[in-house]
Amino acid sequence: MSEQNYLLKMYHKTLKLPFGRKLFSMMFAQKAPYFKTIKPLITELRPNYCELTFKKRKAVQNHIGTVHAIALCNGLEMAMGALAEASIPKHLRWIPKAMTVNYTAKADSDIRVVATLDPELWQVGDVPVQVQAFRADGKVVIEGQIHIYVSEKPAKK
């Protein structure tokens, strides 16, 4: 990528500040206010990769004391969104289209979420972003794909 995009510029700029990761994560969570409900921290962002964490706390627990499904999906969607914004070629735009997930283990700890995409897949049409969340012992608790629909940006008039 010859020219760094706006989100990566903002990310690297905020990392130089005290509490930069936290500041950046709060600013990005403003894009979709429900992201704030998990109090995420984006720990790594680069083209075609995003990693974030959030703590297991009362507000994200279900009736059996594990992290609830919607909190996990919020984390997956936020990581995918940051990846997409940091990676998409300038002439394209994206919108989420579908999410398919499998719950594979109890989410009984703090959570680490990873979104990845093969850079060769950036093209017009459906693009599958791989998403996973892990508990503290490294066990995958949810995994799947978020399909985004990618289209050409309209010509400026």
Domain ranges for the chain, please list them. 6-152
151 or 2, which is more confident? Answer: 151
Give me the chain's average pLDDT, please: 95
**DSSP bridge partners of 93:** 151
Instruction: Please tell me what DSSP assigns to residue 137.
Output: T
CATH topology of domain 6-152: Thiol Ester Dehydrase; Chain A (3.10.129)
d(CA 29, CA 154): 27
- The pLDDT, as a whole number, for residue 26 is 94
Helix residue ranges per DSSP H, the chain: 6-15, 20-29, 69-87
- pLDDT at res. 3: 64
Is the pLDDT score of 144 beyond 90?
Answer: yes
Given a contact cutoff of 8 angstroms between Cβ atoms, the answer to whether 37 and 75 are in contact is no
> What's the rounded mean pLDDT across residues 72-79?
97
Residue 54, Cα to own-chain centre: how many angstroms? 12
Q: What is the pTM of this model?
A: 0.93
Q: Each residue of 110-140: pLDDT tens digit? A: 999 999 999 999 999 999 999 999 999 999 9
Is the model's pLDDT at 2 over the cut of 50?
no
Label residue 155 by pLDDT band (50, 70, 90). confident
Contacts of 9 (CB under 8 A, 6+ apart): none
